[in-house]
Structure 1
Amino acid sequence: MAVFDVVLVTGANGGLGTHFVEQALERGARTVYATARTPREWNDPRVVTLALDVTDPASVAAAAAAATDVTLVVNNAGSSNGSTVLNDNPDLRDLFEVNFFGPLAVAGAFTPALAANGGGALLNVLSVLSWIGIGDGYSATKAALWSATNTQRVALADQGTLVTSLHLGYTDTPMTAGLDVAKNDPADIVRKAYDGIAAGAFEVLADDLSVQVKAGLAAPIEALYPQLAR
């Protein structure tokens, strides 16, 4: 069974999510499960909408029961709420529920289906902020998911499941609407992600910033954080 045969996308209503759905169809998917807390209409018989709140175990279990034929899971749902790691606070805990524990729950729920359908693939949408802490609480959630993704790669290799991480900088989505910075085209990011999965890549660095920051991890910490060199 081809990896793009049956695709499930979390956070399908979002800026990246919409492109994950549309480009999966372009790549020949016979079914795309477009999931969100409040699903939208797609007007395409190949798109099956599912209500999915990644922070609700019952919701995750119901989606997994409905999509047993899945061959590719795109862990795209995510949020940002301006929380800080400088103290323990409810906003940070809420963000970890969405950005860390939610994707883990989705991965765990769909792992049996992926195995039964030939292995398939799991894509975790991370960020360049997985590697640099300037995003405060958001960076912490993405760093945690990056670490978990590395573990998932090893743990799921024997069942033939490819686990791919997607790293990207500022991209033109509703989450970055208030930022006056240069932004990636979300269609380009999704295309690179799917190209990476098709090529069997474990990691997709979707823009120059992600390439630069990843390379900087081998340098002294002051190079990555020039604020420390004052």
Structure 2
Amino acid sequence: MTELGLRARKKLQTRQQIVEAAAALFAERGFDDVTVAEIARAANVSEKTVFNYFGTKEDLIFSGMDDFSAALLQAIRERPRGVSPFAAFGEFVVQPRGLLAAEDPDAIERLAAVARIIDDSTTLQTRQRQLFDANTDRLATLLAEEAGATDADIAAWVVANGLIGVLRAMQKYIHRAVLAGRRGPDLISDVLAQGERAVEVLEHGLADYTVGH
């Protein structure tokens, strides 16, 4: 048991070492101008080791999205009986995750650094859109299965697209905010509250949005 624990810690340490080396290089020179070989040298590992931990160079930025997607689908799939997908999604959205949940005071600065790296790379922006699209497809498939429909069911895709759209909007909002210099717990509360409000708009109908304005 002790040996397995030591091995797991060593793997985690190596992974973090690679991430930190990549982040420093990306922040200094931009994502597109840094090679995996350079990242490996900076992290004092082989290029093969980098790819053992990360399938692509883009995964050095977005690897956490797979875990996030899996957690989201699990929250919806395993929600209590009688709870709607909207409610399960809404509960998921209002929980701080990743760097938003980190107690480290430098977490927001790391988030700002990532936002700048993505903002300066069309390659990363394209990959980000692909990942959100893939998450939409996975959620649509799950919703269609629960409704007894096929993967081609338009309603399931529309609902999934709306819910994933909330996540896209929240991500865009927080990135713009940190790049503009906003910091502090109020920022996190703000983005989570806006996400909750967006889910309510979807759940109760789009027709009432802006009515009376």
TM-score scaled by structure 1? 0.30
TM-score scaled by structure 2? 0.32
Instruction: Please state which structure has a larger fraction of its residues in strand.
Output: 1
Q: Which has the larger radius of gyration?
A: 2
Instruction: Please state which structure has a larger fraction of its residues in helix.
Output: 2
